[in-house]
Amino acid sequence: MKNTGACGLIFPNLHDEMMNDLTAVRALGSIPFGGRYRLVDFALSNLVHAGYNNVGIVTTKKYLSLTQHIGSGKAWDLSRKKKGLSMQPALGATPTEYEGRIIPLHDIREWLELCREEYVILSDCYVIGNINYKALVEKHIASDAEITVAYKVGACPEVPSLVTMDVTESGRVTEMRIGARPEGDVCYGIGLYVMAREKLMELVEDAFSCGKMNFERDILQARVVGGRIRGYEVPEFTLVISSLQSYFDANMALMDKEIRDKLFPSDYPVYTRVHDCAPVVYGLNAEMTGSLAADGAHIDGTVTDSLLFRNVRIETGATVRNCILMEGSIVRKGAVLENVVLDKKVTVSEGRVLRGAPTYPLYVNKGRTI
């Protein structure tokens, strides 16, 4: 019996080059976000909420942080005897080949063949939001499209090889551009596609046999003329993470409760790996204004308009303003931080002063002592 559901393929390493600082030791999909999450959590949670429980993570490099975070998939209820979550390595693909998708898709053909779902969802990790994947698949089926491309309308984000499109009122894509950046509001792709699983295998095999390596250029763009490419405008709120600046701005935007509620609605939670940490501890000298702190943080200094991840420690007399401090960071007595992003397990020594600008935040690599 045919299963008319969908399986999911997530590409956590796509666009690693956009975030060279943050992706030096990790895949883009495992970049920490919002105090306790990773970027990949959004795609995983969207699949689970839609009822799609057969998920492959297509990795190629720097996957230790990702595998440690995902584990068996238990946090997303994907630790199962059948189906569930699995890592699908495409370790033989060069960075350029991986970015094109066709080589890694060809490498995991056996996984695709073993799936029984009729459709497959391909998702990147650089756009986050609570997107209704079930509505996306239903729209794809109803439109009788060969491939459905999810898009948003707005100014072009800073993304290499960005897909922009002309879409009719009926949803048909009449023109597709790759890498162009038209001015004003445009329909731009968010790295999210739906198509029949067997059709995907057929197109990938045909492209691979002809030496074609880019999914967007050699499959999507090449098939626009036939009229079977459809667009789906995503109605949900999303954020694009495509640079250190956009990462900084997206985290700072969480200080707005309205934006937090859109990204993390109570009836549509974003699942993540659970850590058993104590609640936040506020010392006698602590002052915290307009900020968010995750469990395990210990605050004795002054924190203003900042985001603190798990197990961050701010010592007495330290001042943190408009900063993002990742898990395990320590700010010693008398230190001053302003417009700074500290990666995990960074220690800022006593009396140090680090200042960036709101439009050019200062970044400190993982594990450093300043």
> What is the H or E stretch that residue 48 is in?
helix 40-49
Map out the domains of the chain with their CATH numbers. 3-263 (3.90.550.10), 281-364 (2.160.10.10)
Q: Given this model, what pLDDT does residue 3 score? A: 55
Comparing 210 with 227, which gets the higher pLDDT?
Answer: 210
Percent of the chain with pLDDT over 90: 86
pLDDT tops 50 at residue 166: yes
SS3 call for 221: helix
Stated length of the chain: 370
Residue 367 DSSP symbol: T
What are 326-339's pLDDT values in tens digits?
A: 999 999 999 999 99
Q: Given this model, what pLDDT does residue 181 score? A: 86
Residue burial 28-58, b: 16+ Cβ < 10 Å; e: rest = bbbbbbbbbbbbbbbbbbbbbbbebbbbbbb
Among residues 303, 124, 105, the alpha carbon closest in space to that of 214 is found at 105
What are 247-279's pLDDT values in tens digits?
A: 999 999 999 999 999 999 988 999 999 888 889
Residue 360 DSSP symbol: B
pLDDT tops 90 at residue 82: no
pLDDT tops 80 at residue 183: yes
CA–CA distances in Å: residue 349 to residues 76, 132, 152, 339, 354 = 38, 45, 44, 17, 11
What are 276-320's pLDDT values in tens digits?
A: 888 999 999 999 999 999 999 999 999 999 999 999 999 999 999
Residue 190: pLDDT band by 50, 70, 90 thresholds?
very high
Find the range with the poorest average confidence among 29-33, 68-72, 328-332, 366-370: 68-72
Distance between CA 3 and CA 367 in Å, rounded?
A: 47
Among residues 120, 118, 150, the alpha carbon closest in space to that of 132 is found at 150
Task: Name the residue type at position 257.
Answer: K
What are 24-55's pLDDT values in tens digits?
A: 999 999 999 999 999 999 999 999 999 999 99
Q: Given this model, what pLDDT does residue 1 score? A: 39
- What is the residue-wise DSSP string for 82-146? SSEEEEEE-TTS-HHHHHHBHHHHHHTHHHHHH--EEEEEEE-SSEEE---HHHHHHHHHHHT-S
**Mean pLDDT score of the chain, rounded to an integer?**
94
Contact (Cβ atoms closer than 8 angstroms) between residue 20 and residue 247: no
